[in-house]
Amino acid sequence: MAFGLATLFALLTLLSVYFAVRQSAEQRLHQQAVALSQQLVGQLTAELEKHRYLPELLAQNPAAHALLASPNPEPAAVTAFNQTLETANRIATTADIYLMRADGLTLAASNWNTSASFIGRNFAFRQYFQQAMRGQVGRYYALGTTSKKRGYYFAHAVNDSAGKPLGVMVVKVDINTQEAQWKQENADFIVTDRHGVVFMSSNSDWRLHSLQPLSAATQDALYQNQRYDQLLIEPLAGDLRIDQTLEVQRLKTGQQHYWVHKQAMDFIDWDVYILTDWGSVPRAILTTVSLTAFMLLLSLLLLYVLWKNQRQRRDYEQKAREELEAKVAERTRELQRTQEELVQAAKMAALGQLSAGINHELNNPLTAIRAYADNATQFLDIGKLDIARNNLVEIVALTERMATITRQLKTFSRKSAGQIETCDLHWALDSALNIVQPKLAQTRIVLEQHRAEHTRYVQADLVWLEQILVNLLSNAADAVQEQAEQRVWITLQAVDGQVNVSVRDNGAGISADAMPHVFEAFFTTKIIGKGLGLGLSISYRLARDMNGQLSVANAARGGAIFTLTLQQATDGVP
């Protein structure tokens, strides 16, 4: 037993260590993801905001005003401004800077002398251009339709002296730097728009894919605004599906298992996801649990040595225990047999108390049978066959009545194995009344019954149930013997899945001193020779063995009321 307890202790210890280490490792992983997301958001914000001023500054250049104000600017002036933009682009380390006319046509650009020059291209469809022309600071991220490079755009209107926009100055910021600078070996990041399209990630295979499949309406909107150069955005490959509504989630795809943390960049409608390697959690668990298991194993080995040294003593104790258990089992069986015999004795005692009435019920038919038989013989002798036949018919009816009484007595007196099943309570009550009827017939008792709906079927042992009802009815009949008006009420009610059988009399009731002892064995208030004091005690135990309850109280209008509560049976209900 000690070894079993040690093993159980070891298992509980390992489980405790497992859950504690797992919680701690998850917390560290979450803190790491939060720190990385805050760091990345800060770097992206700083990288973008440091160039925010530039388009507004370049829009103040008189050369820009002159080019936009002239319907046909001089080529030399355009070339000079191209060189100015090229120099500004190199110093500011931006991707591109270009000047657009009010109709969206690009007039000058920092990439003027490259094959991907923006000059002559119209970008009026871009949102940043439209924002700037409305007097707002244009902000937009997209995949360049000409350069095929991702970028974030700042735009500012170039206004004339009256404040009317002549055109727009645009600065494109390269967003690839954060991807190149990412040095985390056990973590990846994803930056998406509010549609869940990945436009920036430390994993190049994830870029320009969506976290979840996009609807046809979203695909069409992205195609129309050319944010991603009219590319068809497919969902991420494999099982990599990130729920955009969750701030924290676990994600398993193939061999990879991630802890995902989301942080929103509301001012530009971006969402940043940090995907940290979940593998650090099981590795921490494995290391700690293995070390704990090793220490526990050493402890168990020590306990085993101690257990082995005490083995003979334990064997002796085990043998003594087994002998004791055998004796207890034998005593228990003897007690059960004694209890069964006591129950049977209580039945016989109850029948003994009813014997006078039963004897009367049998003697009356026997006397009548003798008379009818004598008469039938005389009528046969004088040839009056019809009258003789009528006497024989009466004899048959009387013998059937006697047979019914003996069948009920036989059923009541038989032993029961205590099988709890669906029983007909109404039938059991009728049977008990038939058994008690000879006793009631010798009195002036007025018996009233009320059987409510759904009280017919209960869970009980039929023989035990009859015995309890006979005891209660017999006791009620005894209780009213001294009353001028003798009344007994039987009430059947169904309450909350149970059936209550109440037997109330208008006798003297039960005294306060006797009330606590009513269900004790050999306790009786009857005179000597009228009862053994076992009926209610055995009935109380039988009710409990049937998962029911037998209780007693004094009725408000006088007399005692005994209530038998049984479980209602549903399988017998029609």
| Claim to verify: residue 117 and residue 241 sit in the same structural domain | no
pLDDT at 574: 45
| Claim to verify: residue 149 and residue 101 sit in the same structural domain | yes
Altogether, the residues listed in the chain come to a count of: 574
| Claim to verify: residue 420 and residue 400 sit in the same structural domain | no
| Claim to verify: residue 457 and residue 538 sit in the same structural domain | yes
Residue 554 belongs to a domain: yes
- Residue where the block lists tokens 């099981």: 282
What is the percent of the chain where pLDDT is above 90?
22
Instruction: Spell 131-146 as b/e; 16+ CB within 10 A means b.
Output: bbbeeeebbbbbbbbb
**CA distances to 108, 122, 156, 172, 404 from 96, in Å:** 11, 15, 14, 5, 113
Q: What residue numbers bound the domain in which 423 lies?
A: 416-574
Residue 27 belongs to a domain: yes
- Give the chain's mean pLDDT: 82
| Claim to verify: residue 45 and residue 59 sit in the same structural domain | no
Distance CA 123, CA 96 (A): 14
Residue 572 or residue 6, greater confidence: 6
CATH of the domain at 547: 3.30.565.10
- Across 70-79, 197-206, 490-499, 530-539, least confident range: 530-539
pLDDT at 47: 81
Residue 567 has pLDDT above 90, yes or no: yes
Residue 143 or residue 191, greater confidence: 191
| Claim to verify: residue 94 and residue 115 sit in the same structural domain | yes
Residue 316 pLDDT level (bands cut at 50, 70, 90): confident
| Claim to verify: residue 40 and residue 130 sit in the same structural domain | no
Residue 314 belongs to a domain: no
What is the Cα Rg of the chain in Å? Answer: 50
| Claim to verify: residue 134 and residue 75 sit in the same structural domain | yes
Residue 59 belongs to a domain: yes
Residue 338 belongs to a domain: no
Cβ–Cβ under 8 Å, residues 521 and 450:
no
Q: In what order do the strands lie in the sheet with 106-109?
A: 106-109, 96-101, 165-174, 150-159, 138-143
DSSP secondary structure of 19-61: HHHHHHHHHHHHHHHHHHHHHHHHHHHHHHHTTTTHHHHHHT-
**CA distances to 171, 453, 488, 491 from 450, in Å:** 95, 10, 12, 5
| Claim to verify: residue 422 and residue 405 sit in the same structural domain | no
Residue 312 has pLDDT above 50, yes or no: yes
Residue 360 has pLDDT above 70, yes or no: no
| Claim to verify: residue 87 and residue 144 sit in the same structural domain | yes
pLDDT at 420: 86
Residue 532 belongs to a domain: yes
**What is the dihedral sign for C-alpha 176, 177, 183, 186?**
negative
DSSP secondary structure of 338-379: HHHHHHHHHHHHHHHHTHHHHHHHHHHHHHHHHHHHHHHHHH
- Residue where the block lists tokens 């108390």: 353
CATH of the domain at 6: 3.30.450.20
Q: Average pLDDT in the 112-126 region?
A: 90
Residue 150 pLDDT level (bands cut at 50, 70, 90): confident
Identify the CA nearest to 414 among candidates 340, 332, 469: 340
Identify the CA nearest to 111 among candidates 124, 131, 95: 95
| Claim to verify: residue 196 and residue 101 sit in the same structural domain | no
| Claim to verify: residue 572 and residue 441 sit in the same structural domain | yes
Write down which residue in 255, 281, 307 finishes a domain.
281
Phi/psi region, residue 143 (left: phi>0; alpha: psi -120 to 50; beta: rest), is: beta
Residue 479 has pLDDT above 90, yes or no: no
If DSSP codes are grouped into helix, strand and coil, which group holds residue 157?
strand
Write down which residue in 248, 281, 314 finishes a domain.
281
If DSSP codes are grouped into helix, strand and coil, which group holds residue 64?
helix
Residue 398 or residue 424, greater confidence: 424
Instruction: State how many domains the chain has.
Output: 4
- The string of pLDDT tens digits covering residues 453-473 is 889 999 998 888 888 888 888
DSSP lists the bridge partners of residue 253 as 256
pLDDT at 279: 81
Distance CA 538, CA 342 (A): 8
Residue 237 pLDDT level (bands cut at 50, 70, 90): confident
Residue 198 belongs to a domain: yes
DSSP secondary structure of 278-336: TTHHHHHHHHHHHHHHHHHHHHHHHHHHHHHHTHHHHHHHHHHHHHHHHHHHHHHHHHH
Identify the CA nearest to 238 among candidates 248, 251, 219, 250: 251
Write down which residue in 364, 395, 414 finishes a domain.
414
Residue 313 belongs to a domain: no
Cβ–Cβ under 8 Å, residues 511 and 437:
no
